[in-house]
Amino acid sequence: MPSTVRTTCNRDCPDACGIVAEVENGRILRIGGDPDHPVTRGFLCERTNRFLERQYDPDRVTTPLLRRNGGFVPVGWDEALDLAAERMLAFRAESGPASIFHYRSGGTLGVLKYACDYFFERFGPVTTKRGDICSGAGDAAQETDFGLEDSNDLFDLLNSRTIVLWGKNVFASSIHTLPVLREAKARGARLLFVDPVWNRTATLCDRILRPRPGGDFALAMGTARVLFEEERTDPEAPGYCDRFEAFRSLAFSRSVEEWAGRADVAPEELAGFAREYGEGPSAILVGWGMQRRANGSGTIRALDALGAISGNLGVPGGGVSFYFKRRGAFDTSFIGGLRAAPRSICEPLLGPEVLAAEDPPIRMVWVTAGNPVAMLPESETVARALETREFVVVVDSFLTDTARCADLFLPTTTMLEDDDLLGAYGHHYLANARPVVPPPPGVKTDLEILQALAPRVGLAEAMEGSARDWKKRFLRRAEAKGATLERLEEGPVLNPFVPKVLFEGRRFPTPSGRVNLIHHAPPEVDLPAPDYPLFLTSISTAKAQASQTTARFQDGPAEATVHPQAAPGLRDGDLARLETRAGSMTVRVLLDPRQRRDVVVVPKGGWRSAGRCANSLIRARTTDGGEGAAYYDEHARLVPLR
């Protein structure tokens, strides 16, 4: 008879879904959403529903691999770890610990992955990364404006009269918000959609605005001007906002028509949007795309300001929700992070900065939970940076684009074999992840790998303890508030440190205790020129979790979706070269008249090894705050293949 095991999805998605797995004779028969999880509500996204294809993919690697004579050969764990320890100790002795770079990303979001940071900090501390390719600009914006970034309770949206989905495609990236939005709409809420890219979320909404890429700041400022002109601002806002008059002056620095022109929307559409937003309580759900531009941090700050001046902060049904503080309940105080590191590498500039590092140069790289060659800008430079190091270790389950650059590959567990704790960045529930099945023989968790390495480098005592012991260590703060490991083992627990309404009473943890309003415009986003007339936009899809896909989803050219008038001489299904100033790749053209004429859309997560990696076409540049990646400022063209 099959048995049932509950666990939690640990992939880079806001929902951190509860999973119910049926297991028989050590094999998982099927998985589904946990009906008892308050957010998951019994269903999973398309990509997680197909996870068993990845779990039992024949391409999975289950033994350590060592590069010899230009290729990989299987080796035992003792040989692999002895070699890793030997090289680490030698580099530290010869060049200092800063010559070793530990890169950890978001391929899995389990809290126990912080133990990897702790290991390398105790060994060195070594060089680490700074900035954030996913959310760096938005993080910096909200921390600057509000003193912290978090959100009202997810279900507080049921108190909203107006909900703005600003650059947020809930069907692809936040599917468990959908039932809440539908319920809010059934209760009378109005849904507004803002996005330069047409996607399915538009079908859910009552008003749709399609600003030009990078035009969101202008749209927000035009909205602010309408709110001021029509006296739709909160009379008390000057009392809880710093630089209120300076922000007002910024909004009035251009007319509504001028702001609308810069956003490339009709002035009457902008004004109608502003009036509907002004009928609160109103919530803005902020997507992650618009802050991946040169003006990304300033854009999010403008949205924060809209929430502030309209009186939609600190009230039920309001808020500007960019992120839920998924790590806030966990105790990571014993890890110094950037404060302890002797040096850091900016994540969006990883390739150029690793190549340029001196005194000492980066001699070794250890990669945890990441595939930087596929997922970072300027993929070719990232690959060259890794291939020219003396020793690179990659911990993964598959030979990713990054693993192909490694000297040593160490196999680790999948989502359904991991033992960890999860927070979420789309709601406030904490959850436990337990192994549904044991891993294949020869496969270890990230924690077990470093615990096996630890005695070889003098860190046995620092890394000792079972996964359960480490969970309790990370839960020390939360346990005092009742979020114990025992309760989490029974089911998800609401983060005990967060209120249902953020900033209630209009109290903000900024130095002044008030909102810090933006008062200077961010840099302008360069518009495409005639020779490269399209904004290259590589976005998440419902089919794949970034680059974590099986090979069948990487077969053939990547699809490039454009408006028919943006692809003269091309028919639906034609092959073309997608070219930027950084590179080119072959694509299959899909014509979609719903798209803007200045955008070409390709899927996120394409593999370099399959010729589908859009990040190979994107130059490494940072945002105006937070050292995020300016992914969406690259200009492109389509050239027919005849």
pLDDT 10s digits, 573-619 = 999 999 999 999 999 999 999 999 999 999 999 999 999 999 999 99
Q: What is the pLDDT of residues 332-351, one digit of tens each?
A: 999 999 999 999 999 999 99
Q: What is the pLDDT of residue 400?
A: 98
Residue 561 tokens, joined:
């979706």
Q: What is the pLDDT of residue 417?
A: 98
Q: What is the pLDDT of residue 344?
A: 98
CA distance 633 to 346: 18
The alpha carbon torsion through 412, 416, 421, 424 (nearest 10 deg) reads 110
Q: What is the pLDDT of residue 551?
A: 87
DSSP conformational letter for 412: B
DSSP 347-359: GGGHHHHHHH--S
Using DSSP, state whether 7 is helix, strand or coil: strand
CA distance 109 to 640: 41
CA distance 408 to 83: 9
- Using an 8 Å Cβ cutoff, are 243 and 517 in contact? yes
- Using an 8 Å Cβ cutoff, are 135 and 628 in contact? yes
CA distance 8 to 12: 12
Which residues lie below 8 Å from residue 60, measured CB to CB, with a gap of 6+? 54, 397, 398, 411, 414, 440
CA distance 455 to 476: 26
CA neighbor of 310 nearest in space, from 417, 387, 230, 382: 230
Q: What is the pLDDT of residues 244-296, one digit of tens each?
A: 999 999 999 999 999 999 999 999 999 999 999 999 999 999 999 999 999 99
Does 132 have pLDDT greater than 80? Answer: yes
Mean local confidence (pLDDT), 184-188 = 98
- Using an 8 Å Cβ cutoff, are 327 and 149 in contact? no
Which residues lie below 8 Å from residue 359, measured CB to CB, with a gap of 6+? none
Please give the helix or strand (H or E) that residue 410 lies within, else none: strand 408-411
Question: pLDDT above 70 covers what percent of the chain?
Answer: 100
Mean local confidence (pLDDT), 127-131 = 98
Does 34 have pLDDT greater than 80? Answer: yes
Does 363 have pLDDT greater than 80? Answer: yes
- Using an 8 Å Cβ cutoff, are 210 and 202 in contact? no
- Using an 8 Å Cβ cutoff, are 194 and 285 in contact? no
**Domains, in order of start, for the chain:** 3-55 (3.30.200.210), 65-133+348-418+429-494 (3.40.50.740), 136-322+510-516 (3.40.228.10), 534-640 (2.40.40.20)
Chain-wide mean pLDDT for the chain?
A: 97
Does 449 have pLDDT greater than 80? Answer: yes
Q: What is the pLDDT of residue 543?
A: 83
Q: Cα angle at 89 between 84 and 90, to 5 degrees?
A: 100
Q: What is the pLDDT of residues 152-175, one digit of tens each?
A: 999 999 999 999 999 999 999 999
Q: Backbone phi, then psi, for 592, in 5-degree steps?
A: -140, 105
Mean local confidence (pLDDT), 207-231 = 98
Using DSSP, state whether 24 is helix, strand or coil: strand
Q: Residue 124's Cα: distance from chain center in Å?
A: 28
Please give the helix or strand (H or E) that residue 391 lies within, else none: strand 391-396
Does 642 have pLDDT greater than 80? Answer: no
The confidence band for 29, taking pLDDT boundaries of 50, 70 and 90, is very high
Question: pLDDT above 90 covers what percent of the chain?
Answer: 97
Q: What is the pLDDT of residue 334?
A: 97
